[in-house]
Amino acid sequence: MSETRFTPGPWWEESDTYQVPRIWARFPDGSPCDVACAEGDGSIPFEERRANARLIAAAPELYEALKKALDQSGCDGDLCAYAWHDEAKAAIAKAEGKE
């Protein structure tokens, strides 16, 4: 099975001239890429859309940090005393499309 690949980071959030939060990354050649847009029909307030955009922008770093935390937790297989262990494994599986 191939490893899950994401749009290469770093990602960043910025609003365009219409105050629409957008998520940007860079292609390997350095050119910008709009990877997600938090537009909407106006039913979600701007600050909430902007917070959503920041969360999306942080997703790659959160994913890597969670994987490192699991690797360094000292848990062996499915046996673990940490309550967050199963939740972390489920979140990683969801991010990798395995859920």
Backbone φ and ψ for 39, nearest 5 degrees, come out as -65, -110
9-60: per-residue pLDDT in tens? 677 777 766 666 777 777 777 777 776 665 556 666 777 777 777 888 888 8
- Evaluate if residue 66 carries a pLDDT over 90: yes
Closest CA to 21 of 29, 9, 13, 12: 13
Burial of 4 (0-12, 13-18, 19+ CB in 10 A): exposed
Tell me the one-letter amino acid at 87: E
- Evaluate if residue 92 carries a pLDDT over 80: yes
- Reported as half-sphere exposure (CB side, CA atoms, 13 A), residue 60 has a value of 14
Do 23 and 35 contact (CB within 8 A), yes or no?
A: yes
How confident is the model at residue 36, as a pLDDT?
A: 64
Q: What pTM value is reported for the model?
A: 0.68
Block residue for tokens 């969360």: 55
Give the residue-averaged pLDDT of 80-94: 87
How confident is the model at residue 1, as a pLDDT?
A: 41
Q: Where are the domains of the chain?
A: 12-95
